[in-house]
Structure 1
């Protein structure tokens, strides 16, 4: 009877070790083979908040994934810490650059739209019909 009671927790631990993608794959397979199983997995993922884990916790995830535990060598630990800090800073700078790039593209597209709109308004005002 104990193996029956522990297999769900073993399966849960196994899926947790593989991440959200494994949970989603299990849910999709559940829907494919027997839809109540997929529905049960979806409900469990939402209820246990597994569906939303790590959405805004990227730095915490990286800290755990890259192992900030001490190696025993203080010089190496300082080097690793500084390198990771620098890489995170570069990533933040790159993300800010991409945001500015997207904003500039959006502004350019909006300005183009407004120019075309103004041109059509001038054409309409001069008596030339504008096709809608």
Structure 2
């Protein structure tokens, strides 16, 4: 048995009731619920895009020499601070390489799906052509 959320971006009785109730209480609530029903499945991608954009923005500020307001302050031990900066830059580089590998894999998976779809389509067209060459079929018998 699969477990499914009561409130999810789909036309379920609960989401419809919340949308109607939202419109009756305060119309922007109903509008927000309608938007969630229609476009809620895209929220994960939107969140990922926002996170990547902010990471790039703050990463650029850090590389430009601007101190990060959320970063750890200098400890006073120059050797430790230098080591920490090197490790953080190494980790940033590793994160960048992982993001690149993830993008390459996503492109590879898209190409695989496209090739599989093309193969299935070609097979369908070949079978369709054979049926057309054989003539029309009525009740399972050639006409």
What do you get for the CA RMSD once the two structures are aligned?
4.0
State the TM-score, normalizing by the size of structure 1: 0.53
C-alpha deviations, 1:24-71, integer Å up to 9, x for none? 7xx94971893534853242576xxxx787855735414658x86545
Q: How many residues align?
A: 99
Q: For structure 1, which runs of at least 5 residues remain unmatched after alignment?
A: 1-21
Q: 1:56 to 1:104 in 2, by over 3 A?
A: same
Larger RCO (CA under 8 A, 6+ residues apart):
2
Question: 1 CA distance for matches of 2:111 and 2:91?
Answer: 30
In the superposition, the TM-score normalised over structure 2's length comes to: 0.50
Alignment of 1:1-132 (within 5 A): 28=15, 31=18, 34-35=21-22, 36-37=24-25, 40-44=28-32, 55=45, 58-62=48-52, 64=54, 70-71=71-72, 73-124=84-135, 129-131=136-138
Q: Name structure 2 gaps, 5 residues minimum.
A: 1-6, 60-67, 73-80
